[in-house]
Structure 1
């Protein structure tokens, strides 16, 4: 997924050293045959390390931020209730992102690191973080952080806001609600949140690919706004939604 999402910013693919991937099936088969089957899990350790603290911080922060807002009746004050849930969910997501972002950065760079053995740019998680920091400073580990915060606010805001709001309207008694209906509501909210925030995810991963680069020719995007503009101009709206399915 991340190989396809970032290949337009991958120097090895841009230079022709590695041929472009034409789709998800082509990507799966080529990665397995050219780089080895286990390469399909490259970067997953960083994701595993990142995942659990992210979820814990999200829910811990959400409850604390939620206390900052007045309690609204979802039946009579729906929009105020919805806005409070969106705000608290977004703030929780942004706060947790500040803590785990370097791991998310490493996950992306390792997954997009095409090649085998010595041809790869990084040998592992620590090598990715240390090598990038030594090239362009520790701040480069937060490359794309701004748009990531925007995206996480949109995603978490939509997720927590929509779910808390919808369940309050649909379920008169959530504890005794139909489990299948609860599952469907959760899945619909998750899917909707992902679609809404996906362009931010594409831009942030493209910006992550710029970390560690030096020189005008190597730096494809000068900033987040430049990335939004160039992706739209060169790839159209569809460029923001690559590999969404």
Structure 2
């Protein structure tokens, strides 16, 4: 909520949360305790297929790009191809789950003290109203900037993680959980911070009534002109905390299930 509030022009500057702690205090008072989970059902529906597809496509692209390639003999080629495999996996996955990500974003920023003050009552209502007012293509608003965002994020995430793990220890399944945790934390933070400006632009293009029309470059120029370069990083800290807490478990679960 703190992260997406800047995406909605209807939220006056004086009404915005001043920080993460301020958001934790005010949200239950103003919108009710369960508002912390607004859009979470859509997020759950999006999260599981996203993780499954990401790992499946990453393995598929790695099998093609890294076939018969020895890391110790061709380190840089191996690294760049590993980055490419991760980026392609993220981009391919997004083609399948983007409408869910779009609806989740709109529900997250749909603030109000009462249901009557909100634009949507839930997932189906948001889906129906979006298709009715903007057509099916409306569910893919901001798609192309999102492709760039996810390609870079997943390239760094998968590519760096695989490379660092193999650099530290050849047998990945024997790497200690604590080591995996810190590697995943570092990689996730780097990925999230590196791609956050793209993420800011794509979120604002998703939100009805803000930068929902025009091209990504024009949207980015407007953000910089009105808010400075810092505007591209608003909410970055909250995003890093969120990414960091969820980065490790899918990877470790995959390791437990077998490579």
Q: So what's the TM-score if we normalise by structure 1?
A: 0.89
CA distance, structure 1, for counterparts of residue 33 and residue 39 of structure 2? 14
CA distance, structure 2, for counterparts of residue 32 and residue 48 of structure 1? 22
CA distance, structure 2, for counterparts of residue 243 and residue 202 of structure 1? 9
Q: So what's the TM-score if we normalise by structure 2?
A: 0.84
CA distance, structure 2, for counterparts of residue 196 and residue 80 of structure 1? 22
Deviation at 1:195, TM superposition (A): 1.3
Deviation at 1:220, TM superposition (A): 6.5
Does residue 22 of structure 2 align to residue 46 of structure 1?
Answer: no
Structure 2 CA distance for partners of 1:236 and 1:221, relative to 1, 3 Å? farther
1:223 aligned to which of 211, 215, 229: 215
Is residue 102–residue 142 contact of structure 1 (8 Å, CA) maintained in 2? yes
1:35 aligned to which of 28, 31, 34: 31
SS at structure 2 position matched to 1:114 = coil
1:74 aligned to which of 62, 71, 75: 71
Does residue 230 of structure 2 align to residue 238 of structure 1?
Answer: yes
* Structure 2, gaps ≥5 residues long: 238-259
Does residue 201 of structure 2 align to residue 209 of structure 1?
Answer: no
Deviation at 1:172, TM superposition (A): 3.2
Deviation at 1:237, TM superposition (A): 2.2
Counterpart of 1:87 in structure 2 is 84
CA distance, structure 2, for counterparts of residue 20 and residue 182 of structure 1? 37
CA distance, structure 1, for counterparts of residue 72 and residue 97 of structure 2? 37
Structure 2 CA distance for partners of 1:219 and 1:165, relative to 1, 3 Å? closer
CA distance, structure 1, for counterparts of residue 19 and residue 165 of structure 2? 37
Number of aligned residue pairs: 235
SS at structure 1 position matched to 2:214 = coil
1:148-170, Cα deviation, whole Å (9 max, x unpaired): 11111001000111011111211
Is residue 102–residue 206 contact of structure 2 (8 Å, CA) maintained in 1? yes
1:72-96, Cα deviation, whole Å (9 max, x unpaired): 2222211110111111111111111
1:44-193 aligned within 5 A: 44-69=40-65, 70-115=67-112, 116-193=114-191
Root-mean-square deviation (CA, aligned residues, Å) is: 1.9
* Structure 1, gaps ≥5 residues long: none
SS at structure 1 position matched to 2:11 = helix
2:21 aligned to which of 25, 37, 40: 25
Is residue 12–residue 114 contact of structure 1 (8 Å, CA) maintained in 2? no
Structure 2 CA distance for partners of 1:176 and 1:27, relative to 1, 3 Å? closer
